[in-house]
């Protein structure tokens, strides 16, 4: 018996119910088994090298997943968000102490969030498919695209390309993150002749989004993706005691600080 098997585990439901993955993929079961985090995982979270390289959460999750045949790169981002929530609860409990700055008066509040109240969003099973391939037409231009839901691999690829474009960003002052992120999930635009190379294709699609698609179309596409994406509800209610501002849509930030409890 190895060290992984000596610790208790928890079975986690995926927001996608596994319906976005091919049946041959172990993720198609719609559940994933995580071991209870130990000091080993705390060492991962505290690793300055991993934090600097933005690999810390990936390494942390990989360490917890019991079935090592599961490839985290295959997972859509909504399912990964659910794993992050579940692993945080397993590691430190459901109470999350966080400082929240009021967006109106800038007063800083210490609040407690019950992570058990963060439910899976309702999934429309008729909208998704095991090929993770969808067709969408921009209303203003009539341009049709073939796209997918973002996977961890797509997210990493987009992040790397944004790093590659840092020199351009410094020279122009224009950050292409919005269009690069969208381009990274577009598989094809049939009416355009796209290059075959992965990076060349990404940059070509980004150029089309920047030069050919009206901003209202891009906004509507992002709204559509949010409704399509299986996910966990990461919002919480907030009320400022100073200016009485209130909202039900404050977002929990899923970064390294999310894991460490207030001490």
In a domain, 263, yes or no: no
Angstrom distance (rounded) from CA 119 to CA 121: 6
Q: Which of 167, 173, 174 is nearest to 206 (CA)?
A: 174
If pLDDT is split at 50, 70 and 90, which confidence band does 130 have? very high
User: 38-69: per-residue pLDDT in tens?
Assistant: 999 999 998 989 888 889 999 999 999 999 99
- Answer whether residue 159 shows pLDDT above 70: yes
Claim to verify: residue 242 and residue 224 sit in the same structural domain: no
Q: Is 100 exposed, middle or buried (0-12, 13-18, 19+ CB in 10 A)?
A: middle
Claim to verify: residue 7 and residue 102 sit in the same structural domain: yes
Claim to verify: residue 29 and residue 109 sit in the same structural domain: yes
Claim to verify: residue 117 and residue 179 sit in the same structural domain: no
- Answer whether residue 14 shows pLDDT above 90: yes
In a domain, 128, yes or no: no
- Answer whether residue 1 shows pLDDT above 60: no
Claim to verify: residue 19 and residue 100 sit in the same structural domain: yes
Tell me what pLDDT residue 234 has. Answer: 87
Tell me what pLDDT residue 98 has. Answer: 85
- Answer whether residue 169 shows pLDDT above 80: no
With contact defined as beta carbons under 8 Å apart, do 46 and 124 qualify? no
- Answer whether residue 261 shows pLDDT above 60: no
Cα-based distances in Å from 218 to 69, 92, 155, 161, 174: 36, 39, 18, 20, 17
Claim to verify: residue 18 and residue 108 sit in the same structural domain: yes
Claim to verify: residue 7 and residue 111 sit in the same structural domain: yes
Angstrom distance (rounded) from CA 73 to CA 204: 24
Residue of higher predicted confidence among 111 and 219: 219
Claim to verify: residue 7 and residue 41 sit in the same structural domain: yes
In a domain, 26, yes or no: yes
In a domain, 129, yes or no: no
Tell me what pLDDT residue 260 has. Answer: 66
Claim to verify: residue 82 and residue 200 sit in the same structural domain: no
User: 201-244: per-residue pLDDT in tens?
Assistant: 999 999 999 999 999 999 999 999 999 999 999 888 899 999 99
In a domain, 127, yes or no: no
In a domain, 32, yes or no: yes
Claim to verify: residue 86 and residue 12 sit in the same structural domain: yes
Q: Total structural domains in the chain?
A: 2
- Answer whether residue 6 shows pLDDT above 70: no
Angstrom distance (rounded) from CA 153 to CA 74: 7
Residue that the structure tokens 């600080």 belong to = 257
Tell me what pLDDT residue 82 has. Answer: 94
Q: What distance lies between CA 150 and its chain's CA centroid?
A: 8
DSSP 162-222: HHHTHHHHHHH----HHHHHHHTTEEE-TTS---SSHHHHHHHHHHHHHHHS-HHHHHHHH
Claim to verify: residue 185 and residue 66 sit in the same structural domain: no
If pLDDT is split at 50, 70 and 90, which confidence band does 4 have? very low
In a domain, 89, yes or no: yes
Which domain covers residue 170, as residue numbers? Answer: 134-228
Q: Which of 96, 94, 29, 92 is nearest to 66 (CA)?
A: 29
- Percent over 90 (pLDDT), the chain: 72
Across the range 143-154, mean pLDDT stands at: 97
**Residue 100: both structure tokens together:** 């929240």
Claim to verify: residue 110 and residue 55 sit in the same structural domain: yes
* DSSP bridge pairs for 254: none
- Answer whether residue 3 shows pLDDT above 70: no
Angstrom distance (rounded) from CA 49 to CA 69: 26
Tell me what pLDDT residue 41 has. Answer: 92
Across the range 87-110, mean pLDDT stands at: 91
Angstrom distance (rounded) from CA 1 to CA 107: 52
């Amino acid at each position: 018996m190895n060290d992984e098997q000596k610790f208790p585990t928890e079975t986690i439901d995926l927001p996608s119910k596994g319906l976005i993955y091919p049946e041959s993929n172990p993720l198609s079961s719609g559940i994933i088994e995580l071991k209870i985090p130990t000091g080993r995982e705390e060492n991962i979270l505290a690793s300055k090298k991993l934090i600097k390289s933005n690999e810390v959460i990936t390494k942390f999750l990989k360490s917890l997943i019991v079935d090592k045949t599961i490839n985290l790169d295959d997972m859509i981002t909504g399912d990964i968000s659910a794993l992050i929530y579940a692993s945080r609860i397993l590691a430190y409990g459901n109470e999350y102490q966080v400082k929240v700055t009021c967006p109106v008066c800038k007063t800083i509040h210490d609040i407690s969030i019950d992570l058990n109240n963060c439910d899976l969003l309702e999934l429309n099973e008729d909208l998704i498919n095991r090929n993770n391939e969808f067709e969408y037409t921009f209303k203003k231009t009539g341009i049709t695209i073939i796209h997918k839901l973002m996977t961890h691999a797509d997210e990493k690829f987009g992040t790397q390309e944004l790093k590659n474009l840092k020199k351009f960003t410094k020279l122009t002052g224009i950050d292409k993150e919005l269009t690069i992120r969208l381009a990274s999930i577009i598989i094809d635009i049939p009416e355009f002749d796209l290059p075959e190379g992965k990076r060349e294709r990404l940059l070509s699609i980004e150029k089309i989004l920047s030069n050919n698609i009206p901003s209202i179309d891009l906004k509507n596409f992002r709204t559509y993706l949010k409704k399509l994406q299986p996910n966990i509800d990461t919002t919480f209610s907030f009320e400022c005691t100073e200016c009485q501002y209130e909202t039900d849509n404050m977002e929990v930030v899923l970064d390294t600080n999310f894991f460490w409890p207030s001490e």
